[in-house]
């Protein structure tokens, strides 16, 4: 049981580390990323331009982050950016990080 818990904790740590590396790769800070959610500034869901999707995907690949691994936090109900528990009303899925970055792009941050 403890081994399973350690593996899960290690996976979450690697994910948080990957989010930080991706933020650095794109020239933003993790605090900016986590502030985006607390302020409720969402990007246009499902309408992120293809070239921007590719830029984010390429940056993620360079830092070794699998964007779809973000969905692994769904059961944990933990924000990958600030590590706080998610509120019941917050949505969280595999497009979470892309939506965060879309919001930052819309605001001229990236």
pLDDT tens sequence across 10-33: 665 566 666 667 666 666 555 544
Please, are residues 23 and 30 in contact by the beta-carbon 8 Å criterion? yes
Q: What are the angstrom distances between the C-alpha of 26 and each of 7, 55, 67, 75, 104?
A: 29, 9, 14, 28, 10
Residues whose CB falls within 8 Å of the CB of residue 26, separated by 6 or more in sequence, listed in order: 56, 59, 101, 104, 110
Domains in the chain: boundaries: 2-106
**pTM attached to this predicted model:** 0.33
Q: What is the pLDDT of residues 60-97, one digit of tens each?
A: 666 666 555 444 444 455 555 556 665 544 444 445 55
């Amino acid at each position: 049981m403890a081994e399973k818990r350690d593996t899960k904790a290690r996976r979450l740590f690697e994910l948080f580390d990957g989010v930080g590396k991706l933020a650095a790769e794109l020239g933003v800070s993790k605090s900016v990323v986590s502030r985006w959610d607390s302020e409720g500034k969402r990007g246009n869901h499902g309408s992120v331009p293809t070239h921007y999707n590719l830029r984010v995907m390429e940056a993620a690949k360079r830092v070794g982050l699998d964007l779809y691994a973000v969905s692994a936090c769904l059961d944990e109900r933990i924000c990958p950016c600030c590590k706080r528990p998610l509120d019941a009303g917050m949505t969280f899925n595999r497009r979470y990080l892309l939506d965060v970055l879309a919001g930052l792009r819309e605001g001229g941050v990236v």
